[in-house]
A and B are shown apart, each in its own frame.
Chain A
Amino acid sequence: MSGRVLVGVKRVIDYAVKIRVKPDNTGVVTDGVKHSMNPFCEIAVEEAVKLKEKKLVKEVVAVSCGPQQSQETIRTALAMGADRGIHVEVSGNDYETLGPLQVSKIMAALAKKEDAQIIILGKQAIDDDCNQTGQMTAALLDWPQGTFASEVTLDGDKIKVVREIDGGLETIKINTPAVLTADLRLNTPRYATLPNIMKAKKKKIANVKPADLGVNLTSKLEVLRVEDPPQRQAGMKVETVEDLVGKLKELGKV
């Protein structure tokens, strides 16, 4: 029983930035664009740090997969209260094709290597909106999962999770070790203020390569095309109900 929590954080384009599609339609413009930690990952980090502050877990380890710049995201997690970081170096073409399957393989390998009790991830990333990594990680490790968590309570060696589902809220009790994915209302993430960032500079970030973990990064998916959503058509104004019916008939809708 190590009491260690692994938190996955992803570096994504900042939520407030207006996304532009590349002229060749192969992806979105990322060069020179502001990046930050995925909002759901922030909530995940906050939950892990809260568990540590309540002394329910002993250590919080922040993990990110990506190029050099992913270290900034890990630093933010450290500033929020994580104890140490692990940067899994993935760059170039491997990074372009990095998806939930590869990340979940990496997380599973790290969970075994670090002897983690709980893995907390954001429910989905705001750039790819996959909502798959948590679920795949749990399947690879054969661990129970508490996804879309809006409330997490540790109860002995079990975890009570209140999940946000379409019909309302569902409460489940799962064994540890387990994988949790954070939903919007789980908590209010703290801001990584300047003094905390300064303190976090002393914390360690280990460098790992996917090959060291025995993970194959080849992707079976190929992005064919990326394009803007269709422009919204301007609406038409009509004077009377007869006009409305007439227009609908014209368009062949009635």
Chain B
Amino acid sequence: MANPLRSEVVRLYKNLLYLGREYPKGGDYFRDRLRAAFTKNKSVQDPEQIKAMIARGEYVARELEALYYLRKYRAMKKRYYEE
């Protein structure tokens, strides 16, 4: 069991769960898919592979932050700025 990486994986999971609450298609939708994605790779042992997957998870987290920011920016721009 890749023990030091386990805590990183758990931390990533909690992070994504928290970020996914605001997902436009619904927090439940996101949570179900998040859980499916993590359980699918449950049996992976190779540390390199795990690290690569963690990196991909962090990429998803950054993409979510960008999505939320853009949504908010566009909404504010539309409401408050005459084009």
Total A residues in contact with B, Cβ cutoff 8 Å: 12
Q: How far is the CB of A113 from chain B (nearest CB, A)?
A: 32
Interface residue A95 (Cβ < 8 Å from any Cβ of B): no
Q: How far is the CB of B67 from chain A (nearest CB, A)?
A: 10
- Pick the residue among A15, A126, A188 that contacts B69 (CB under 8 A): A188
Total B residues in contact with A, Cβ cutoff 8 Å: 18
> Which residue in chain A gives the minimum CB-CB distance to B61?
A193
A16 adjacent to B75 (CB under 8 Å): yes
- Pick the residue among A15, A191, A194 that contacts B14 (CB under 8 A): A194
Interface residue A39 (Cβ < 8 Å from any Cβ of B): yes
Q: Which residues of A are found within 8 Å of B19, using beta-carbon distances? A: 191, 193-194
Interface residue B29 (Cβ < 8 Å from any Cβ of A): no
Secondary structure call for the A interface: loop
Q: Which residues of B are found within 8 Å of A40, using beta-carbon distances? A: 76
Q: Which residues of B are found within 8 Å of A99, using beta-carbon distances? A: none
B69 adjacent to A191 (CB under 8 Å): yes
A184 adjacent to B76 (CB under 8 Å): yes
- Pick the residue among B15, B72, B77, B81 that contacts A195 (CB under 8 A): B15
Separation of A39 and B68 alpha carbons in the complex (Å): 12
- Pick the residue among B18, B61, B65, B73 that contacts A184 (CB under 8 A): B73
Interface residues in B5-62 (C-beta closer than 8 Å to A): 11, 14-15, 18-19, 61
- Pick the residue among A15, A126, A189, A194 that contacts B18 (CB under 8 A): A194
Q: Which residues of A are found within 8 Å of B69, using beta-carbon distances? A: 188-189, 191
Q: Which residues of B are found within 8 Å of A188, using beta-carbon distances? A: 69
Q: Which residues of B are found within 8 Å of A193, using beta-carbon distances? A: 15, 18-19, 61, 65
